[in-house]
Structure 1
Amino acid sequence: MNCIDLAIKAAKGKLTDQEIRDAFDREQKIRAEFMDSGRTDNLDARVARKIAQEAMAKKIEQARQKRAIAQNIIVRNRLNARLAQWQAEGMSPVRALLASAEGSQMGIKGARDSMDARQAAFESQYIGDTMAHIEREKPHIFGLMTDNGFDNAVTDELFQLREGGTPGKTGNSDAQWLAKVLGAAMEFSRTDLNRMGAAIGRLDGYAGPQSHDDLAMLRVLRGEWTAEIKPLLDMDRSFPDAEPAEIDGILSEIYDTIITGGMGKDSAALHGQRVSPSSMATRLGLHRILHFRDAEGAIAYRDKFG
């Protein structure tokens, strides 16, 4: 009886045969990755630790999904009740649905409390408070915001706001100060949204969303873009669940997603028509986030494709 058969017997039906075989396959792949990279010291311990990390990540993701389902049920019931109320007060079903997104001036109670209004309120709170802070403490910084060198310094200082980072690395006190202000604002918005039901993890060294210039990307072939960005990325953070041989394919899919607007087919951009640049946060969402190796990598990408 081999190891797989022994594991199947020990599982006593709690896991399917295929789940057990998949687990053994994953263990072998992890072991091969460590060996291929030359990290063979304490190999068994390394493999066990990696497997434990993946198992914990899977448990966390399953818990997050259950939480999201429960939240969606609550929100859906609340929305249905609101739509029913508005229809009872004279709105058509279509008008009620539109009002939930963009608001209404029909004089119906609660009809102005739309998704659009709430988004504007949160943006005003987070962005407005930050701008007021700058105006109050260091108003001259507004004059520096169009300077590319200052922008790069702020990006670098934001990247240093992590464990093991070196704040003040740039020697630019204004950039260091602004990075702290922006970092605090982003952390406040993250925790505030989590309090309301989101599940946004903290990213050390997060320097803000990475933008993409779709026209600049269209000037190069998919493979050229992949070759340009790949050396700039933190592979472990960007592709924790992928095999090394799969990374080029994943990056190619990301290229297609960005220039097609996520539609997976020809878009206006592919035919030479202008569409707005895409944001990693809005276009890729949680499907795949690209983490740059360091601030220099993020800046180099932004200068060419951002």
Structure 2
Amino acid sequence: MEVLSKLMKDRFAMICIAFLVIVVLAGIFAPWIAPHSPIDVNVKEKLAGISTSYPLGADQLGRCIFSRLLYGVRTTVFIAFITMAVTVLIGTVLGAIAGVFRGKIDEIIMRVCDIFMSFPSEVMILAIIGMMGPGITNIVIASIIAKWAWYTRMIRSIVLKYTDKNYVQFARVSGFSRWHIFKKHIMPNTAGEIAVLATLDIGSVILMISALSFLGLGVQAPTPEWGMMLNEAKNVMIIRPELMLPPGIAILFVVAAFNFLGDSLQGAFNVKHGTKRR
């Protein structure tokens, strides 16, 4: 309740939340909002300007840019949500096991994390996609493999911060199981800090998905995706440079909203540990 109260008082945080909710709803209800199919080609409307039928104009194949932008939420943003959710889940499970049980299992998990973290995440993602090939599924898998170790180590450090608290020690002396202690005392306190980590990092996942699609290694045509839209718009950049603005601005605003919201959550949860990402 205290955290919610702090967020309610933070107008900028509420603006970011409202904006992101609108974006998510636009993606969910895209079939009902979009005036055209995002993949149907209409050569007669090639490079059409802004009109009531085409609110943001049409691309070089006559496809509605506004419709593709709406459907792009489903690939760019929703895939980022899925990627982050799975990554955080793996990191939470392994980090909690390492932090609660410690000993040999902690050593094994941490040494494996050291191996994965010895490679720059961007290089690892490119290498994995190079081996597996481009595609939405491969982007998700590559991102999870590249990021799970960092989250495991960070969440382990968060868990360790609470395992030595007096109330946790009292529960342990009282005979409660480690699972009970983790569920009742540790997890509720760590959830806020994990949420801060995920919110601050989801913007980088969106940028990664868009960048890979822009390079032709991610989402493939004709699937609407913001990075892919930038890739297609660059082909007509000399005659119609404004076609790059809608997907570019969408990426900018969504990533900025997540970053600002993460900063607000960090202040609301009073998180003081470093949240710097690789």
Structure of higher RCO (CA pairs closer than 8 Å, 6+ residues apart): 2
TM-score, normalising length from structure 2?
Answer: 0.24
Identify the structure with the greater helix proportion.
Answer: 2
